[in-house]
Amino acid sequence: MQNLRFVFISLLSFFTITATAQFVVTGTVLDSATREPLSNASVFCQNTTLGTVTQKNGEFSLSLKSGGYDLIFSYTGYQTQTIRISDNNKLEILLVKEDKSLGEVVLKSSFEVADGWEKYGDFFIKNFIGSTPNASKCVLTNPEVLKFFFYKKTNRLKVMATDALLISNNALGYQLRYQLDSFVYFYNTDINLYRGYCLFSEMEGTDSLKNLWSKARVNTYEGSRLHFMHSYYDSTLLEEGWIVDLLDENNDKKFIKVKNVYDTAYYNYVQNMTDSIGEDSLVHTITTGPAEVEIYYPRKISITYTKKSPEKQYLAKMKLPKSVPYQISYIDIKNWITITENGYYYEQKDWINQGYWSWKNLADLLPYDYLPD
């Protein structure tokens, strides 16, 4: 049997993609040195509500809806490991013990700010959780796990955590458990970068409260990057209210509307296939996994969502007139981006946000397994 990867190029803007309903990932989590099973290790899909813990023998099983996921494996005292998955898998995960001495050196650095939370807490919340209406309803319940470091020579702030951050998003009805690797803010360029692993869980509430959360989630989803990825995957960009403009090749201040976002220059439809010998002794080509979409633009693009105007807080921050009618984000794509059925995309480091989406942080993040009613 020979695995083949066929790339089909769609010339039509209304291409419909079908995929398998779900798949199962199973495996065992072991100590890399002793190969002893690790029980109660955390296994979850990044930025979803989907997770479990390993049994006494280190085994786990997760049933997932069709799409792509970063599967996270974490255990106290061990290095976190990530594996990308999109189809049935049986995994053996070998976790490596952390070098505690290195962590102690970092957390006892002379650059640590003794009263860091008092000095930088509000600033961190604003740039990590956000300053949107949703952010105003979020609460970090364990700020004591944060450590703040300021590096005067490079004029940057670094924030680390000794344990997972616990955040209640009372606007959307989610509890977030965020394993923060690091948060860095560069004062000279007004750029912040953060890296970590997030697991969502549903908050308990009355029927009335759940109804409010449901409406807030729909409102947050509409015009979001997740909405855009779903629309591109489903070939419904126009119907959903999206416009894509490409920076003029000869004028770096002018954008030109992309007439066909499914043109082969920007778009590929990818279906994984395999050859199999059937009972009739003939070779049959069958689908082996869910379809994916690839997109790429050679220059900066602007993405306009035409069905909603920006929040007044965003307009005030950017000093824009109240009459701005649409939400506009600017994107640099360094390489081909692959989009899966659930809106997950990779490589995420090759997608750089500016404009409206860059204003949205953790408070406006929805899990990949969210779908509006």
Q: What is 89-157 written as a DSSP string?
A: EEEEEEEPBP-HHHHHHHHT-TTB-TTHHHHHHHHHHHHHT-SSTTGGGEEES-GGGEEEEEETTTTEE
Here the tokens at position 266 are: 């920007």
What is the percentage of the chain residues whose pLDDT exceeds 70? 87
Here the tokens at position 353 are: 């946000």
Mean pLDDT computed over every residue of the chain: 90
User: Which residues fall within 8 angstroms of residue 52, CB to CB, at 6 or more apart?
Assistant: 43, 44, 60, 61, 62
Angstrom distance (rounded) from CA 159 to CA 62:
33
pLDDT digits (tens, 9 = 90+) for 134-162: 999 999 999 999 999 999 999 999 999 99
Per-residue pLDDT, averaged over 95-102, amounts to 78
Per-residue pLDDT, averaged over 157-174, amounts to 97
Whether residue 99 is predicted with pLDDT greater than 90 in this model: the reply is: no
Whether residue 13 is predicted with pLDDT greater than 50 in this model: the reply is: no
Return the pLDDT at 277.
61
Return the pLDDT at 74.
95
Tell me how crowded residue 204 is: count the other CB atoms within 10 A of its CB. 9
Return the pLDDT at 271.
84
Return the pLDDT at 49.
97
For residue 235, what pLDDT band results from cuts at 50, 70 and 90?
A: very high
- Tokens 């005292």 belong to 77
Whether residue 210 is predicted with pLDDT greater than 50 in this model: the reply is: yes
Domain ranges of the chain: 20-95, 100-202, 219-364
Per-residue pLDDT, averaged over 183-202, amounts to 94
What is the percentage of the chain residues whose pLDDT exceeds 90? 82
Q: Count of alpha carbons within 13 Å of 247, Cβ hemisphere only? A: 15
Which of 329, 327, 292 has its CA nearest to residue 308? 327
For residue 191, what pLDDT band results from cuts at 50, 70 and 90?
A: confident
For residue 241, what pLDDT band results from cuts at 50, 70 and 90?
A: very high
pLDDT digits (tens, 9 = 90+) for 308-356: 999 999 999 999 999 999 999 999 999 999 999 999 999 999 999 999 9
Return the pLDDT at 22.
87
CATH topology of domain 20-95: Immunoglobulin-like (2.60.40)
Return the pLDDT at 131.
95
Angstrom distance (rounded) from CA 18 to CA 1:
24
Return the pLDDT at 93.
97
Instruction: Give the pTM.
Output: 0.87
